[in-house]
A and B are shown apart, each in its own frame.
Chain A
């Protein structure tokens, strides 16, 4: 048994095992529980890095569940057409890297943030990670649905975690209803595709795709479900509630879960339907993107609750990604030369969005931790007592607003450049919204950190600071060396999006 052959399964299995182990260890000792959870997540992180490295070096990795050989996708004797497969290409690897990185930082933050009922918190936390990783690793449409449900249920419970504030229950109820509707859409469309092709494997469906009317209905259902779960306006109504009411680090870890839904959206558009996609889909994605940018920024300006404000900014960031990916998809269908630039901008911005908005959520969580207050009107003068936090907030502010030395600038400039080629109006709206975003964050900074000292409070504990500093370091690093990041992380993902033939070949080419 070579451990390297089983990396894809282990990346899912280790957090899953630890999730069920946590409540048992919690009975014995809290310190032991924290240690076990941390070790398990660090191990997952290392294995995920090895897996990502493997994918970037050697191309698409296939892992067949329960088979006599882990690469034999099509069984020789049985009547099943294709086994249940994990398929990891550059795009999946990119998403996995984001998910494990953010979860690890969120876990370190939670060690000092979460005080009561920790056993359940870490179980749910790990289950949410399992769901995200499963969505990103799987090559099977039905497994995608199952992992989507795992993510949604764990996330809903985590949003309602501070249940003594009534509004958290409302947010969680909204989230679970919206998620169930989305999941039903996905299930229904899987049923349609299965009825038509007798297949559930994404690569196999992509190969058999004939663009009948049934396929188009399935596409509409899949598209709307994943756009809903990704928080694209006008279906963003659950997102500010969910992000705003979740406890500190969970707001940050929810961003990769919505990113996982976005990944599923891209997988459906670029890989399953690829060139048979109707030309209206990229236009719809671009419109959703513009709406998200506009609604996100304007709604953020009028918010009073610090976390709700950042949540609306997160909607706007989703809009930037969708705008770039919509333009990329348009270029992909018409073989334009700006396709690669647009996709590069979109994927790079996806990573940057998670880092920037994640850092802002951690700072907001730190402010709430230190003062117990969420309203901008009642906060003020925190820079006197929370020096490090306010500097870190400035880093996040500059990054999310797209100011030059930070990573947000690097990806936004690529987006402006590429969408300009489709229509200058698109990039003008994007730039204007970016300026308004700066205004939004300066409003928070001014209201929370500057001014006379209003309340006595202390700096946040060291674990919380450590994960914020790690995020800030990544933001500055990405901003200073965008070329390196694009070459080593983003380009493999972009190539995977463009090269759907390789994705199909990896599953269907073996054993036929």
Chain B
């Protein structure tokens, strides 16, 4: 296809699926400390949502909507959050990466036997979110760049 876009049917379905895939991605990220999965896996699912849009709408349209630079910024923010939380470990508690949120109201609940409340795990959910941001940003930027570059090569 010269214009790289797919038919209206595919575009509509992709548009409808996009938020659902993202919700599933957020679910996997947020429940990383309770169920299989976590920041990386959830982030990869989120990036696959972006890949879906790129296939359906073409890389140029998506590049206009979410510039590769912005995705990179999002990725850096994820890394930044992770390191800041890790450093907060020794400012607020004893050592680098020590879990300073245990017993605090936010994520601090210590679950009983057989329970798995979302509000537990200390700073693990925050680290999962940070990794998730990094992976969504990074993988989406990579997929977008690959699509743009292969398009350039085709045009030459």
Q: A17-B80, A17-B84, A21-B76 are in contact. List 14 more A-B contacts (CB 8 A).
A: A6-B90, A9-B95, A13-B86, A17-B83, A63-B95, A65-B95, A66-B89, A66-B98, A68-B93, A68-B95, A68-B98, A69-B94, A70-B94, A70-B95
Q: List 29 A-B contacts (CB under 8 A).
A: A1-B91, A6-B90, A6-B96, A9-B95, A13-B86, A13-B87, A16-B83, A20-B77, A20-B79, A20-B80, A21-B80, A22-B76, A24-B76, A24-B80, A27-B73, A63-B95, A63-B96, A65-B96, A65-B97, A66-B89, A66-B95, A66-B97, A67-B94, A67-B98, A68-B94, A68-B95, A69-B94, A69-B95, A123-B76
A66:B96 contact, CB within 8 angstroms: yes
Chain B 51-87 interface mask (CB, 8 Å, partner A; 1/0) = 0000000000000000000001100110110011011
CB distance from A210 to the nearest CB of B (A): 32
A 77-95 contacts with B by CB, 8 A: none
Interface residues on A, range: 20 to 34
Q: Is B25 an interface residue (CB 8 A)?
A: no
Cβ–Cβ < 8 Å partners of B86 in chain A: 13
Q: Is B120 an interface residue (CB 8 A)?
A: no
Chain B's interface: helix, strand, loop or mixed, by majority?
Answer: helix
B73:A24 contact, CB within 8 angstroms: yes
Given the known interface contacts A9-B90, A17-B80, A21-B80, the answer about A66 and B73 at a Cβ–Cβ threshold of 8 Å is no
Q: Is B99 an interface residue (CB 8 A)?
A: yes
CB distance from B73 to the nearest CB of A (A): 6
B90:A1 contact, CB within 8 angstroms: yes
A 4-63 contacts with B by CB, 8 A: 6, 9, 13, 16-17, 19-24, 27, 63
CB-nearest residue of chain B to A17: B83
| Chain B residues proximal to chain A, CB less than 8 Å | 72-73, 76-77, 79-80, 83-84, 86-87, 89-91, 93-99
B83:A20 contact, CB within 8 angstroms: yes
Q: Is A395 an interface residue (CB 8 A)?
A: no
Cβ–Cβ < 8 Å partners of A23 in chain B: 72-73, 76
Cβ–Cβ < 8 Å partners of A65 in chain B: 95-98
Q: Is A468 an interface residue (CB 8 A)?
A: no
Question: Bound complex: CA of A316 vs CA of B86, how far in Å?
Answer: 42
CB distance from A74 to the nearest CB of B (A): 15
| Chain A residues proximal to chain B, CB less than 8 Å | 1, 6, 9, 13, 16-17, 19-24, 27, 63-70, 123
Cβ–Cβ < 8 Å partners of B98 in chain A: 65-68
CB-nearest residue of chain A to B93: A68
Question: Bound complex: CA of A70 vs CA of B90, how far in Å?
Answer: 10
Q: Which of B76, B77, B86, B87 has the most CB of A within 10 A?
A: B76
Nearest first, the 9 A-B pairs at minimum CB distance are A9-B96, A20-B79, A66-B97, A20-B80, A17-B83, A66-B98, A23-B76, A20-B76, A70-B95
CB-nearest residue of chain B to A27: B73
Question: Bound complex: CA of A17 vs CA of B77, how far in Å?
Answer: 10
CB distance from B146 to the nearest CB of A (A): 15
Question: Bound complex: CA of A22 vs CA of B79, how far in Å?
Answer: 11
Cβ–Cβ < 8 Å partners of A27 in chain B: 73
CB distance from A178 to the nearest CB of B (A): 22
Question: Bound complex: CA of A317 vs CA of B99, how far in Å?
Answer: 45
Question: Bound complex: CA of A211 vs CA of B70, how far in Å?
Answer: 53
Cβ–Cβ < 8 Å partners of B94 in chain A: 67-70
Question: Bound complex: CA of A13 vs CA of B96, how far in Å?
Answer: 9
Cβ–Cβ < 8 Å partners of B93 in chain A: 68
CB distance from B87 to the nearest CB of A (A): 6
Question: Bound complex: CA of A68 vs CA of B98, how far in Å?
Answer: 7
CB-nearest residue of chain B to A21: B80
CB distance from A160 to the nearest CB of B (A): 14
Question: Bound complex: CA of A6 vs CA of B72, how far in Å?
Answer: 30
Given the known interface contacts A13-B86, A16-B83, A23-B72, the answer about A66 and B77 at a Cβ–Cβ threshold of 8 Å is no
CB distance from B95 to the nearest CB of A (A): 5
Cβ–Cβ < 8 Å partners of B91 in chain A: 1
Cβ–Cβ < 8 Å partners of A16 in chain B: 79, 83
CB distance from A37 to the nearest CB of B (A): 14
Question: Bound complex: CA of A70 vs CA of B79, how far in Å?
Answer: 24
Question: Bound complex: CA of A63 vs CA of B95, how far in Å?
Answer: 8
CB-nearest residue of chain A to B94: A68
Cβ–Cβ < 8 Å partners of A69 in chain B: 94-95
CB distance from B52 to the nearest CB of A (A): 26
Cβ–Cβ < 8 Å partners of A64 in chain B: 95
Question: Bound complex: CA of A69 vs CA of B98, how far in Å?
Answer: 10
Cβ–Cβ < 8 Å partners of B73 in chain A: 23-24, 27
CB distance from B130 to the nearest CB of A (A): 10
Cβ–Cβ < 8 Å partners of A9 in chain B: 90, 95-96
Question: Bound complex: CA of A123 vs CA of B138, how far in Å?
Answer: 14
Question: Bound complex: CA of A19 vs CA of B77, how far in Å?
Answer: 11
Question: Bound complex: CA of A66 vs CA of B73, how far in Å?
Answer: 28
Question: Bound complex: CA of A27 vs CA of B67, how far in Å?
Answer: 14
CB distance from A510 to the nearest CB of B (A): 14
CB-nearest residue of chain A to B79: A20
CB distance from B122 to the nearest CB of A (A): 10
Question: Bound complex: CA of A16 vs CA of B81, how far in Å?
Answer: 11
CB-nearest residue of chain B to A64: B95
CB-nearest residue of chain A to B96: A9
CB-nearest residue of chain B to A19: B79
Question: Bound complex: CA of A67 vs CA of B83, how far in Å?
Answer: 17
Cβ–Cβ < 8 Å partners of B90 in chain A: 1, 6, 9
CB-nearest residue of chain B to A8: B96
CB distance from A231 to the nearest CB of B (A): 29
